[in-house]
């Protein structure tokens, strides 16, 4: 599989990479065997960048990565996790369901971008992951915590980078505006942008992507299917957008894009997967998967060649911005 480089860190990522949220039982429960077979299929397909976080299933995703990658040579893949949401065990007693993942609420999440909080969170992640190091650490969704994240949070990651504990540091968010501020005001290697540079919306062209090129900061694009709205040849009934029911206007727009795709004998999800990779700042597209069949399907999409005429028509009819 082709790779692209986080230039600041001299770190190569596969263009297509593995997002770990579904292995934490996002939306639905999967068993350990299915998680293992998903990771096996991803490895056999050539994926070598794997991303996870403590938030994903209260550590379940990290533990499944440990099990699924333990037999793989550690030097042959890139592993990232996130800090900022520290897991605190709940007091004993009956456990209800976690509000975000299909797991028991054995822990609570506490926002903590302090030096001590980050070091504790990373140490716990390394234990769950069964490794002595990760390659990339991201500050995770610091939307309401700019002051602490940009000062103590970034400072701690910068310290870890300078000590050689991690090779690259970054921030991951669902918005481009604050990511842009991080890129311009701190010394990041990479940012993870969720859902804001896709076939459906290209707001990051106004701020983050130009800043990333100017500052030589790499971008990992995630959420490229916009929570599922672009994941099928046609938006499915009840399709989600930003983890909620998709507005009718966006469903119509997705169908309009699908019309153009069909005229060029390309499916909507194939175009959606390839679209972010057309931008020079983007080094990888990470997609969450929870079965070997999903890995195979997405690899088939990645292997396709998208005709240039498709992008031309999307520009001409105003469905994709001309600067994309």
What's the pLDDT tens digit per position in 244-272? 889 999 999 999 999 999 999 999 999 99
Q: Give the confidence band of 53 by pLDDT, cuts at 50, 70, 90.
A: very high
pLDDT score for 229: 93
Burial of 266 (0-12, 13-18, 19+ CB in 10 A): buried
CA atoms of 229 and 244, how far apart (whole Å): 10
pLDDT score for 107: 95
What DSSP character marks residue 229?
T
What's the pLDDT tens digit per position in 284-293? 999 999 999 9
CB-CB contact of 77 with 111 (8 Å): no
Helix (H) or strand (E) holding 271: helix 268-274
CA atoms of 288 and 196, how far apart (whole Å): 16
Q: What are the distances in angstroms from CA 95 to CA 23, 28, 89, 104, 108? A: 21, 18, 11, 6, 11
Over residues 170-198, the mean pLDDT reads 98
Does the structure show a pLDDT above 80 at 180?
Answer: yes
**Residue with structure tokens 């579904």?**
22
Percentage of the chain with pLDDT > 90?
92
Does the structure show a pLDDT above 70 at 143?
Answer: yes
Does the structure show a pLDDT above 90 at 176?
Answer: yes
Spatial neighbors of 236 by CB under 8 A, at least 6 apart, are 228
Over residues 12-28, the mean pLDDT reads 97
Over residues 124-132, the mean pLDDT reads 97
Question: Which residues in 176-313 belong to E strands, given as ranges?
Answer: 190-194, 218-222, 240-241, 244-245, 282-288
What tokens were used for 291?
Answer: 């079965």
CB-CB contact of 215 with 183 (8 Å): yes
Over residues 12-16, the mean pLDDT reads 98
Does the structure show a pLDDT above 90 at 35?
Answer: yes
Residue 77 catalytic? no
Q: Which of 49, 56, 197, 241 is catalytic?
A: 56
What's the pLDDT tens digit per position in 57-102? 999 999 999 999 999 999 999 999 999 999 999 987 667 899 889 9
Over residues 168-189, the mean pLDDT reads 98
Q: Give the confidence band of 233 by pLDDT, cuts at 50, 70, 90.
A: very high
**Residue with structure tokens 């100017």?**
214
CA atoms of 120 and 82, how far apart (whole Å): 12
Helix (H) or strand (E) holding 49: strand 49-51
Q: At 318, is the secondary structure helix, strand, or coil?
A: coil
Q: What is the DSSP string of 129-186?
A: HTSS--SEEEEE--TT-HHHIIIIIHHHHHHHHHTTS-SEEEEEES-SHHHHHHHHHS
pLDDT score for 94: 67
């Amino acid at each position: 599989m082709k790779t692209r480089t986080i230039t600041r860190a001299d770190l190569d990522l596969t263009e297509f990479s593995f997002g770990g949220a579904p292995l934490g039982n996002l939306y639905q429960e999967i068993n350990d065997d299915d998680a293992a077979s998903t990771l096996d299929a991803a490895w056999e397909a050539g994926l070598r960048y794997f991303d996870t976080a403590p938030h994903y299933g209260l550590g379940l995703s990290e533990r499944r990565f440990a099990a699924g990658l333990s037999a793989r040579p550690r030097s042959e893949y890139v592993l990232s996790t996130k800090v900022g949401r520290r897991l605190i065990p709940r007091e004993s007693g009956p456990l209800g369901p976690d509000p975000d993942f299909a797991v028991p609420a054995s822990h609570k999440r506490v926002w903590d971008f302090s030096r001590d909080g980050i070091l504790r969170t990373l140490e716990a992640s390394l234990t769950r992951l069964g490794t002595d190091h990760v390659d990339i650490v991201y500050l995770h969704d610091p939307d309401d915590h700019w002051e602490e994240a940009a000062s103590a949070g970034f400072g701690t990651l910068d310290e870890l980078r300078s000590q050689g504990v991690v090779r690259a540091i970054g921030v991951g968010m669902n918005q481009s505006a604050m990511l842009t501020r991080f890129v311009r005001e701190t010394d990041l290697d990479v940012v993870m942008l969720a859902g804001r540079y896709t076939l459906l919306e290209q707001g990051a062209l106004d701020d983050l992507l130009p800043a990333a090129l100017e500052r030589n900061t790499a971008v990992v694009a995630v959420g490229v299917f916009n929570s599922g709205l672009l994941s099928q040849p046609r938006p499915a009934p009840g399709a989600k957008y930003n983890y909620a029911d998709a507005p009718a206007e966006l469903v119509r727009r997705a169908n309009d894009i699908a019309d153009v795709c069909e005229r060029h004998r390309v499916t909507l999800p194939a175009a959606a997967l390839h679209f972010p990779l057309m931008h020079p700042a983007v080094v990888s597209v990470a997609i969450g998967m929870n079965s070997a069949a999903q890995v195979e399907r997405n690899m088939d999409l990645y292997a396709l060649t998208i005709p240039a005429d498709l992008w031309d028509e999307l520009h001409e009819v105003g469905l994709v911005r001309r600067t994309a």
